């Protein structure tokens, strides 16, 4: 993807250096929400090109990935992003660590596609006209220029998710975090988005309940009750996770048909 706007925010406390392999380092991180311990004592480093996150509902996956871009802050322990304490580089984070939500309607804030894409560029300091021009060029680059004036609300679910991903990518982040991006898409739309994601230069940190999307990732983290239960290659983690889900289903459903 072409880099044409080497801009950075000037209001970060400390300049973030994105040219390092490890993009996030967790050291003994704990997170409590309400009266529930959501993450307990998580220590790890993230550097691989594609990392998948799996786990049952409520295991802490969304909270974990939100800690990487500052949408959540740890109660104790440290989270470093590109080597800096997350509090020191918070203002720079949206530029370098993009976040795509599960539900596109929770992410998009502007009426039209063009405005949605231009917003990221405005955040980077572009004036309105240049943001509009570059948004159109960016949409052309991704074969979506026909959508520029379309109301976001009139897009298909697949198009909405694609535009939300592009709206983040236009800021040229180094890392793209995706929280179940395919959850509301049919199989075909989901596969199209996945194909697009795999061609990106960005590192991916992606939650998915559909394990087939993660089969050729570099690394899989399995979260259970706020802890890392397994951290290894897909060939090890995915069959073990699948077997655990089946074992629990057999125990909890007692063989009853749904
Ligand atoms: N704001 C909050 N206040 C209190 N508890 C919360 C809050 N947000 C999340 N939780 C709880 O924290 C736990 C972990 O939530 P989280 O969304 O991180 O899990 P998850 O693995 O992503 O789940 P899912 O697969 O259902 O999206 C859950 O039990 C959830 O109910």
Taking the centre of ligand 1 as the mean of its atom positions, its distance from the CA of residue 137, in whole angstroms, is 38
- Per the structure, the count of domains in the chain is 1
The answer as to whether 130 is a domain residue is no
- Would you list the DSSP string of 234-252? HHHHHHHHHHHHHHHHHHH
Name which residue sits closest to atom 31 of ligand 1, judged by CA. 58
Say if ligand 1 is within 6 A of residue 34 CB.
yes
Say if ligand 1 is within 6 A of residue 72 CB.
no
The answer as to whether 192 is a domain residue is yes
Name which residue sits closest to atom 27 of ligand 1, judged by CA. 57
Average pLDDT value over all residues in the chain: 89
Sheet of strand 24-33: strand arrangement: 36-46, 24-33, 76-81, 84-85
Say if ligand 1 is within 6 A of residue 112 CB.
no
* Mean pLDDT along residues 189-204: 91
The answer as to whether 128 is a domain residue is no
CA 45 to chain centre: 16
The answer as to whether 123 is a domain residue is no
The answer as to whether 244 is a domain residue is yes
Contact 97, 171 (CB under 8 A): no
Predicted confidence (pLDDT) per residue in 123-162, tens digit: 888 999 999 999 999 999 988 999 999 999 999 988 999 9
Name the region of 106 (left: φ>0; alpha: ψ -120 to 50; beta: rest).
alpha
- 181: domain range? 24-111+151-253
Per-residue model confidence (pLDDT) at position 105? 86
The answer as to whether 40 is a domain residue is yes
The answer as to whether 215 is a domain residue is yes
Taking the centre of ligand 1 as the mean of its atom positions, its distance from the CA of residue 182, in whole angstroms, is 19
Whole-prediction pTM: 0.90
Predicted confidence (pLDDT) per residue in 29-84, tens digit: 999 999 999 999 999 999 999 999 999 999 999 999 999 988 999 999 999 999 99
Contact 9, 95 (CB under 8 A): yes
Taking the centre of ligand 1 as the mean of its atom positions, its distance from the CA of residue 65, in whole angstroms, is 12
C-alpha distances (whole Å) from 202 to each of 74, 84, 165 are: 25, 20, 12
Contact 74, 29 (CB under 8 A): yes
Predicted confidence (pLDDT) per residue in 88-112, tens digit: 888 888 889 999 998 888 888 889 9
ipTM of the complex: 0.95
Q: How confident is the model at residue 13 (pLDDT cuts 50, 70, 90)?
A: low
Per-residue model confidence (pLDDT) at position 131? 93
- Please state, in angstroms and rounded to a whole number, the distance separating the CA atoms of residues 159 and 143: 12
The answer as to whether 158 is a domain residue is yes
Say if ligand 1 is within 6 A of residue 125 CB.
no
Q: Which ranges constitute the DSSP H helices of 104-258?
A: 104-107, 113-123, 128-141, 157-169, 187-198, 234-253
Q: Supply the CATH number for residue 222's domain.
A: 3.40.50.300
Say if ligand 1 is within 6 A of residue 61 CB.
yes
């Amino acid at each position: 993807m072409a880099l044409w706007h080497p801009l950075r925010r000037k209001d970060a406390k400390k300049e973030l250096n994105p040219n390092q392999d490890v993009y996030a380092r967790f050291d003994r991180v704990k997170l409590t929400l309400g009266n529930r311990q959501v993450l307990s004592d998580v220590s790890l480093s993230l550097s691989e090109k594609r990392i998948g996150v799996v786990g049952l509902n409520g295991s802490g996956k969304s909270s974990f990935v939100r800690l990487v871009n500052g949408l959540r802050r740890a109660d104790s322990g440290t989270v470093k992003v590109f080597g800096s304490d997350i509090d020191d580089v918070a203002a720079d984070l949206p530029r370098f660590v993009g976040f795509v939500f599960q539900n596109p309607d929770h992410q998009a804030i502007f009426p039209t596609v063009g405005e949605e894409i231009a917003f990221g560029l405005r955040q980077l300091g572009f004036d309105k006209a240049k943001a509009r021009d570059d948004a159109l060029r960016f949409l052309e680059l991704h074969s979506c220029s026909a959508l520029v004036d379309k109301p976001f609300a009139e897009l298909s679910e697949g198009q909405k998710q694609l535009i939300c991903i592009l709206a983040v990518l236009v800021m040229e982040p180094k890392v793209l975090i995706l929280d179940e991006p395919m959850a509301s898409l049919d199989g075909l739309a989901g596969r199209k988005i996945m194909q697009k994601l795999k061609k990106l230069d960005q590192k991916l940190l992606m939650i998915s309940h559909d394990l087939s999307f993660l089969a050729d990732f570099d690394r899989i983290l399995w979260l259970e009750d706020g802890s890392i239960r397994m951290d290894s290659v897909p060939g090890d983690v995915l069959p073990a996770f699948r077997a655990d889900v089946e074992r629990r289903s057999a125990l909890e459903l007692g063989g009853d048909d749904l």
